[in-house]
Structure 1
């Protein structure tokens, strides 16, 4: 049983707010691996800034990955070429950003190689993102599912919603298409990384 620190779900290219909290609570970071897979969350989707505004990228999962499937067991579907679609979207949205080319080779393998399980895919991406952001923290994993935790544990499992309007305070930084739609808050961390590069950690 976790006694202190922050409990976080594992997301696909998590939003900026996720890393703000992770950076704040390190090194006491716990990742939930025993929960049942909730649909329509950041666990398999990320928001990026496209010429038309917010674009949501969704990693499709194998049908049958419903509410009662443990998150560790959810498999990625390759019925259509979503990896190619995501990579083309990232290129279209961020090729003009200051640091896309700087990080391009780090992210490309995620859109070329196939990983069977969503949890493993997200885990590898998170390890890469922490390295690129220069956030040094061990990652601990839950052994079993607990509905509630003691007060010393900050539980973020339901804190980040794809459906709620973003209310967090966030200082604007340069975004590629901001002259069209203004500053968009709490997009995927890659929006911050591709636009701010090594300054991303200072921003967090």
Structure 2
């Protein structure tokens, strides 16, 4: 069983979940890295009516830079805005109604910690996917970790390194297939088939 080091993301992209759920791996989450800007740690990408839509969790700039110390800002009512954006984007998808109540739970969780928020969201997403993949949190930061390192493998700015097969998306008639969006996109469009889809993803 090989150990895999993963960053902790907000409603992670499909590719992240494909690595997280690998049966031959033991997952360790990175909580001591210096927080990098413009990554999936505090943003997710969904398929909106006008194409790709980024939902970004605002940060509370308190001078702390380590992932487990990062605080979210509650000034902009982002929980409500993000939930409404997801609902508008996916209410016409095949499975949104089926999972709506569970997905809404993600946005009722109150915490100042970005790490706690992301981990709670992951707990709910695992329930939806009917998987109980265990994980641990690392105890300190290593520039060159002993685990297989995925800290920089998922970029919000570059094309995905993972080969994700096309599936029906709510607005694909308008803009075509958009690969490697948030796991929410896969769940709402593929439903119970999402887990099988994730296990078949390969790197390019």
TM-score by length of 2: 0.91
Match of 1:96 in 2: 92
Distance 1:167 1:32 in 2: 20
Match of 1:80 in 2: 76
Match of 1:187 in 2: 181
1:132 deviation in Å? 1.6
1:26 deviation in Å? 5.1
Structural RMSD (CA): 1.6
1:140 deviation in Å? 0.9
Tell me the secondary structure at the aligned position of residue 158 of structure 1: coil
TM-score by length of 1: 0.91
1:167 deviation in Å? 4.5
* Structure 1 segments (4+ residues) deviating >6 Å: none
Correspondence list, 1:24-39, <5 A = 24=22, 27-39=25-37
Match of 1:16 in 2: 14
**Given that residues 102 and 128 in structure 2 are in contact (C-alpha distance below 8 angstroms), is that contact kept between their aligned partners in structure 1?**
no
- Structure whose residues are more often strand by fraction: 2
Tell me the secondary structure at the aligned position of residue 24 of structure 1: coil
Match of 1:119 in 2: 115
**Given that residues 12 and 42 in structure 1 are in contact (C-alpha distance below 8 angstroms), is that contact kept between their aligned partners in structure 2?**
yes
Structure 2: which 5+ residue stretches go unaligned? Answer: 199-204
Distance 1:134 1:27 in 2: 18
1:27 deviation in Å? 4.7
Query: After the TM superposition, which of the residue ranges 157-166 and 5-14 deviates more from structure 2?
Result: 157-166
Distance 1:45 1:115 in 2: 17
**Given that residues 154 and 160 in structure 2 are in contact (C-alpha distance below 8 angstroms), is that contact kept between their aligned partners in structure 1?**
no
1:108 deviation in Å? 1.3
Distance 2:106 2:194 in 1: 21
Distance 1:16 1:72 in 2: 23
Query: After the TM superposition, which of the residue ranges 87-96 and 109-118 deviates more from structure 2?
Result: 109-118
Q: When the two structures are aligned, how many residues end up with a matched partner? A: 198
